[in-house]
Amino acid sequence: MAIQASVSASPVKTPAKVEYARIATEEAFAPAEMLKIYRKILDGSDPDPGFVSLLGFYMSSPSERARHIITCLQDLGEMRIRHMDEAGIDRQVIALTSPGVQVMDKETAVSFARVANDELAEAVRKHPTRFTGMIAVAPQNPAEAAKEIERGVKQLGLTAVIINSHTQGEYLSDPKFWDIFEAAEANDTPIYLHPNTPPRNMIQPFLECGLDGAIYGFGVETGLHALRIITAGVFDRFPKLQMIIGHMGEALPFWSYRLDYMHQATVRSNRYETVKALKKKPSDYLRENFYITNSGVAWEPAIKFTQETLGADRVMYAMDYPYQHAIDEVIGLDGMAMTPEAKKQFFQTNAERVFKIK
Ligand code: 1DF
Ligand code: MN
């Protein structure tokens, strides 16, 4: 099947009314105050190269796409809802845009996560039928992150956690972060592991050819992160923990066979101290502990492959507004050759269950 990608908000007609609600599950916002903090970091000494390449670009480029994105990110009101109406999106599940607070110093990150969560919760209270929100946390301080997860669930009514992949080069596979997993499991809330640009010690070969961002670096870095979490035994320790990964599972479903074979071969040969036996195969954790969204990938064969290998109850729709604000993709996905039941799971009912939408 041919690949048809569009690059901007296209002047196409609003998608027709359908038998299901369309819930978009990886949608981004950025408070103006966060962009001010970002400006300071960018102007400071030796900022993270991936951050400079990504947010440094969006915050300074005069291009139409960058202006549109920066404008849309800051709105949690009428403009966003108009864009949703134009695109036939019934509900957005919204999270603080990447890299969120993870690029900030520890103290600022902890305090700004609270500010952002309060702001998002307020928007959700104002528009309860259109918005659902995720809890931003600062992995820089795992104990505070755990507290914020509890506050987000119990006091703010937010129903998932957003973590934008690595935190200044550190990965959640390190047990020092596992208070976060414990809190997510205890509060019955999934963690959306969203991409970030590759960290300082990984980015150079990506950066020199312009492949560090959403085109490829995001997927490589975040797929690696999810795999590190699996192979570190996180789901043997926290079997009820659920994670969500976008961009068609950052390609991990496609890797399943090789991951299972080589993981077992590696364990058997005692090749690495760090590769330990797990209770299950890597692909079993993908099927039992991960939900996959199609953010950035409006492509029927990839969606069907993932439904076939993980189950139709594990694959959800996402637009990735405002980064991939493409109405024609919605129309294309409405037209997928799929049973009405599976299509409704994809667009609506899986998200309702995962994000506790009533
Ligand atoms: C981009 C893409 C930026 C995604 C994002 O957040 C993002 C991009 C800063 O195109 O630069 O979330 N995305 O998920 O594909
Ligand atoms: Mn995204």
pLDDT for 64-77, tens place per residue?
999 999 999 999 99
CA of 214 to the centre of ligand 2 (A): 8
Q: Quick check: bond before 99 cis, omega within 30?
A: yes
Nearest CA to ligand 1 atom 11: 214
Candidate from 38, 320, 325 with most ligand 1 atoms within 8 A of CB, to mutate: 320
What's the burial of 267, exposed, middle or buried (CB within 10 Å: 0-12/13-18/19+)? middle
Ligand 1 nearest-atom number relative to CA 213? 11
Nearest alpha-carbon partner for 331 in 38, 86, 101: 86
Residue with the two structure tokens 């960058």: 66
Overall size of the chain counted in residues: 358
The reported pLDDT for the residue numbered 335 is 98
Q: Closest ligand to 24 CA?
A: 2
Which pLDDT band holds residue 15 (cuts at 50, 70, 90)? very high
Average pLDDT over all residues of the chain: 96
Alpha helices in 95-166 (DSSP H): 106-126, 142-154
CA of 281 to the centre of ligand 1 (A): 30
Q: How far apart are CA 250 and CA 254, in angstroms?
A: 9
Q: What is the pTM of this model?
A: 0.97
pLDDT of residue 4 exceeding 90, the answer is no
**Residues forming beta bridges with residue 91, ordered by sequence position:** 23
- Ligand having the closest approach to the CA of 217: 1
pLDDT, one tens digit per residue, over 193-249 is 999 999 999 999 999 999 999 999 999 999 999 999 999 999 999 999 999 999 999
Pocket of ligand 1 (CB under 6 A): 28, 54, 97-98, 195, 213-214, 246, 295-296, 320, 323
C-alpha 305/C-alpha 287 separation (Å) is 13
Q: What is the pLDDT of residues 270-325, one digit of tens each?
A: 999 999 999 999 999 999 999 999 999 999 999 999 999 999 999 999 999 999 99
pLDDT 10s digits, 155-200:
999 999 999 999 999 999 999 999 999 999 999 999 999 999 999 9
The atom of ligand 1 lying closest to the CA of 55 is 9
- Sorted by where each starts, the structural domains of the chain and their CATH numbers stand as 23-31+69-354 (3.20.20.140)
**Atom 2 of ligand 1, nearest CA residue:** 214
Average the pLDDT over 64-93 and give the result: 98
